[in-house]
Chains A and B, each alone.
Chain A
């Protein structure tokens, strides 16, 4: 049970971090196109 939850936390955090980077890149592109 502990391993399952630790895996959820670790891999889920990796996925979230990827999503954050994707969001930041998309935001900077949108900002540049609006400017």
Chain B
């Protein structure tokens, strides 16, 4: 998914590359030395959440630097919005998830509210991404339409 932002953000490819490299090294180190393979990895979930929120904020900032057409017709805005909403909704869940499951042994009934948040976040993200795909297929951004597409 960093690749998506790599395609969206024209100038900040170094930021995307740095996040991808840091995520790879950090996940290998945490999986290898800190966490058991049966545990949920705290580092990967929280790092990816924070980095995607930061990347969508950078996208908003770049959009504000060069205001072009109408905002609601730009798929870049919708893609960034979908990731922004999804990872903002899952931020607290990801922070407390491994503690709730592996330390407190939460029951599935008590976990229902968090599951509903998870479902809501997934559905919202997928609908907004689908709308962005529809806009791309309509040909609204000239840059994002695949060259081979008719």
Contact = CB atoms under 8 A, between A and B. Distances in A.
| Secondary structure call for the B interface | helix
B110 A6 contact: yes
A6 B97 CA distance: 10
- Decide if the interface of chain A is mainly helix, strand, loop or mixed: helix
Nearest to B124: A17
* Interface range on chain A (Cβ under 8 Å from partner): 20 to 34
Contacts, number: 60
Given A5-B100, A6-B113, A13 B71 contact: no
Interface residues of B, number: 25
Contacts of B111: 6
B51 interface: no
Interface in B36-65: 60, 63-64
A3 B117 contact: no
Interface in B85-124: 85, 88-89, 91-93, 96, 99-100, 104, 106, 110-111, 113-114, 117
A20 B84 contact: yes
Interface of A: 1-3, 5-6, 8-10, 12-13, 16-17, 19-20, 24, 27-28, 30-32, 34-35
